[in-house]
Amino acid sequence: MRRPRLGLAVVLCATFGAAGCEAAPSLPSSGRPADGLLDDAELQTVVELGIQRDIDGVVERLLAERPEVRARAAMTLASFQAAESVVALSPLLDDAEAQVRRDAAFALGRIGDPGSTGALGAALAEEADAGVRSRLIEALGHMATERAADLLLSADLESWEEAARASSLSVLGGVYGVSHEGLRDYLIETLTHEDPSVRLAASSFFGLQSGVRLWARHAIYVRQALDSYDLADPAAMHLVVGLARLDDFLDYGRLSRWAAQAQDWRTRANAMSGLNPLGSAVQVLVDALADPSPLVVFAAARALTGGALDDSLVPLLERWIEGHPNRLAVSRELLIQLALMRQIDVVLAWVDATAPGDERRWVVGLEVLSYIPGQESLSRIARAARDPSERTAAEASLVLLRRWQGDRQSAEAHDLYFDLFRELIDDPRASVAAAARQGLESPEFAVRSFDLAALGATSAPTSEAQVKDEPSLPLLPDAQTIDWGFLRGLGNAPSLVLETTRGTVTLQLLTAEAPLTVQTVARLALDGHYDGVPFHRVLPNFMAQTGDIVARDGTGEPGFTIRTELTQLPFEAGVVGMANLGSLDSENSQFFITHSRQPHLARGFTAFGWVSSGMDVVDLLEPLDAILSATVVPG
């Protein structure tokens, strides 16, 4: 007999985070009870079969006598995303054990086969267990069919399940683009719901790209809802993004108000995306350079870049750059703007003030110099190629090569580049000398008498990756093998402590749901590979990404990949996920931390932990901030 519906509000809070209850917990949670994985050989076999992508072996475990094994097998199949497993999973929605029903519903949702819609709807109508119901509601949101919207709209739900309904409908329309008028009307009406958690769940639909076309003709109701919000209402962060995408002059004043006055930095940053630097909003963007949130300042600087700003703003931008020598991400945006405004002397003076060995500043300098043609910028690039930092020198030599590809049509440039490459080929650092050799082997230099054969010790690279500091051997040659003894040493709840340039961030890792991922990140951290690695990609109110232990700019390949492990941890604010190469099973060393709810990541990325302390530090991180050290604490 299925248990009565008890404690449902608690489970929904854990499952849907801030969108699931008015008094949201301070930490996210997957809501999945522990099953003793680290000490259970039978469960470990299921995980290993999953890593091997042995679908037949895992499906066979769906019939196991022990419910823990059936549940683990069901959860494991979620990461396969194989439609052929739906037939075996669907009967488990009527299993005698709630844990099995819950994990089967989760797997069917992550697989996303619309053929499962009817079975999920029928199960929801009969289900009494709180945790199972939450997974069924969530799974219907991934069915990408109008029938799923009908079932969610007509389902007999308790009042505290309304946020879960709104969340799933938002995913259906905003992530999968399900065009359903009833869905749209429900979400519009729910924007002014008295429960702030329901408002927040409904509003997320309007911030997702795929839903814009469905509600654009009804934007008046979105505007009315936004105008009724208190300036502290987090639901506004999604509505301002949606209105910004409409690019309607009716919203310029509204967006300016939220950009300047919203109490949540996320809302202010989102509103910046809809402000035009060529109109009256330019003053709002300029004023935002003094915002207390670094990411709002970064968003404002990005919005300012690319437009023909009035020359009267040049002194202000100069003063900002001079007064904030350590805010390199913002300086980068403003320097690019100054370069586009042909304020070349200002930009070159900033580059000339870069000290030898300052890798982070040279990253910005080399990019900004790409916006400036001519010999003056070229001479600075050559200077960087002789920098004492091998990483700076290697990157500068690559920039020089790319610059040569664009300038080689000009015969006047040949002498200059030949002299630069000839000087660098004697550099003792292999990456710099290899780039110089590649330049000297250009056919334009074939008639010159320089004897490359005499420098046979330095071979030319065949690709740009070879000039970079790519490893010759995989850093983790056994990356697809789980060491259960190692994981037992870590425990079910180990912490990864990141000392960053902004402060300390502690991540609690989810060993039981993502054992291979946790093992990989912990091993890399213990070996010191994350020390000094920058946050190379930070998108305000989306995420901060780091972990490129090779190239440090997001392009590095550490020589191994690991399997995707989809977990029941929702991508709410502060959740840690593995970056990948755009497809399942392509993760390596890179990971990210989300700033807010990101439901579109659920079916494609491994969520393996959350920020247990230091979220205020995460909200300060800008591109080029870095991990100073990473420490693993068993737990």
- The CATH number of residue 500's host domain is 2.40.100.10
pLDDT of residue 211: 87
pLDDT of residue 113: 97
Rounded CA gap, 22 and 200, in Å? 10
- Kindly state whether residues 49 and 197 are assigned to the same domain: yes
Task: Write down how long the chain is.
Answer: 635
Mean of pLDDT values over 552-570: 95
Q: Is residue 522, in this structure, part of any structural domain at all?
A: yes
pLDDT of residue 471: 55
Question: Contact 425/461 with Cβ under 8 angstroms?
Answer: no
Mean of pLDDT values over 323-344: 93
pLDDT of residue 455: 54
Mean of pLDDT values over 212-234: 97
Phi, psi (deg, nearest 5) at residue 33? -65, 150
Q: Is residue 442, in this structure, part of any structural domain at all?
A: yes
Mean of pLDDT values over 570-596: 97
pLDDT of residue 13: 44
* Out of 100-104, 247-251, 350-354, least confident range: 247-251
Of 201, 229, 257, which residue constitutes the final position of a domain?
A: 229
Of 469, 493, 509, which residue constitutes the final position of a domain?
A: 469
pLDDT of residue 451: 60
Q: Read off the pLDDT of residues 482-533 as tens digits, 9 standing for 90 and up.
A: 999 999 999 999 999 999 999 999 999 999 999 999 999 999 999 999 999 9
The mean of the pLDDT values for the chain is: 91
pLDDT at 194 over 90: yes
- Kindly state whether residues 454 and 547 are assigned to the same domain: no
Mean of pLDDT values over 221-247: 97
Q: Is residue 586, in this structure, part of any structural domain at all?
A: yes
pLDDT at 2 over 60: no
Rounded CA gap, 353 and 365, in Å? 10
- Kindly state whether residues 493 and 455 are assigned to the same domain: no
pLDDT at 208 over 90: yes
Three-state SS string over 470-521 comes to CCCCCCCCCCCCCCHHHHHHHCCCCEEEEEECCEEEEEEECCCCCHHHHHHH
pLDDT of residue 3: 34
pLDDT of residue 447: 77
pLDDT of residue 1: 31
pLDDT at 12 over 60: no
- Kindly state whether residues 25 and 153 are assigned to the same domain: yes
* Out of 2-6, 262-266, 421-425, least confident range: 2-6
pLDDT of residue 434: 92
Rounded CA gap, 34 and 105, in Å? 18
Question: Contact 621/594 with Cβ under 8 angstroms?
Answer: no
Phi, psi (deg, nearest 5) at residue 441? -85, 5
pLDDT at 457 over 70: no
Mean of pLDDT values over 67-86: 97
Output the CA torsion sign for 392, 397, 402, 404. positive
Q: For the chain, give the percent of residues with pLDDT over 90.
A: 83
Rounded CA gap, 495 and 305, in Å? 39
Say if residue 228 is exposed, middle or buried (CB neighbours under 10 Å; 0-12, 13-18, 19+): exposed
**Confidence band, pLDDT 50/70/90 cuts, at residue 281:** confident
- Kindly state whether residues 501 and 451 are assigned to the same domain: no
- Kindly state whether residues 453 and 414 are assigned to the same domain: yes
Rounded CA gap, 339 and 306, in Å? 10
Output the CA torsion sign for 24, 627, 587, 398. positive
pLDDT at 21 over 90: no
Mean of pLDDT values over 388-393: 94
Q: Read off the pLDDT of residues 99-152 as tens digits, 9 standing for 90 and up.
A: 999 999 999 999 999 999 999 999 999 999 999 999 999 999 999 999 999 999
pLDDT at 17 over 50: no
- Kindly state whether residues 414 and 545 are assigned to the same domain: no
Of 211, 229, 247, which residue constitutes the final position of a domain?
A: 229
Which of 198, 326, 206 has its CA nearest to residue 274? Answer: 206
Domain containing 132 equals 8-229
Question: Contact 420/407 with Cβ under 8 angstroms?
Answer: no
Question: Contact 559/471 with Cβ under 8 angstroms?
Answer: yes
pLDDT at 247 over 50: yes
Q: Is residue 319, in this structure, part of any structural domain at all?
A: no
pLDDT of residue 181: 97
- Kindly state whether residues 423 and 541 are assigned to the same domain: no
pLDDT at 456 over 50: no
Rounded CA gap, 353 and 258, in Å? 37
- Kindly state whether residues 399 and 525 are assigned to the same domain: no
Q: Into how many domains does the chain fold? A: 3
Q: Is residue 352, in this structure, part of any structural domain at all?
A: no
Rounded CA gap, 548 and 535, in Å? 9
**Confidence band, pLDDT 50/70/90 cuts, at residue 307:** low
**Confidence band, pLDDT 50/70/90 cuts, at residue 277:** confident
Sheet (strand 543-546) strand order:
537-539, 543-546, 591-594, 575-578, 607-613, 503-509, 495-500, 627-633
* Out of 41-50, 232-241, 419-428, 451-460, least confident range: 451-460
- Kindly state whether residues 463 and 488 are assigned to the same domain: no
- Kindly state whether residues 502 and 619 are assigned to the same domain: yes
Half-sphere exposure of 380 (CA within 13 A, CB side): 26
Q: Is 278 or 73 the better-scoring residue by pLDDT?
A: 73
Can you give the CATH number for the domain in which 67 is found?
Answer: 1.25.10.10
Q: Is residue 271, in this structure, part of any structural domain at all?
A: no
Q: Is residue 275, in this structure, part of any structural domain at all?
A: no
Q: In one letter, which amino acid is 157? A: L
- Kindly state whether residues 520 and 587 are assigned to the same domain: yes
Mean of pLDDT values over 317-325: 94
pLDDT of residue 209: 87
Mean of pLDDT values over 301-306: 86
Rounded CA gap, 275 and 266, in Å? 15
Query: Could you tell me the maximum CA-CA distance found in the chain, to the nearest angstrom?
Result: 89
Q: Is residue 456, in this structure, part of any structural domain at all?
A: yes
Mean of pLDDT values over 244-268: 95
Question: Contact 110/570 with Cβ under 8 angstroms?
Answer: no
pLDDT of residue 310: 84
pLDDT at 51 over 90: yes
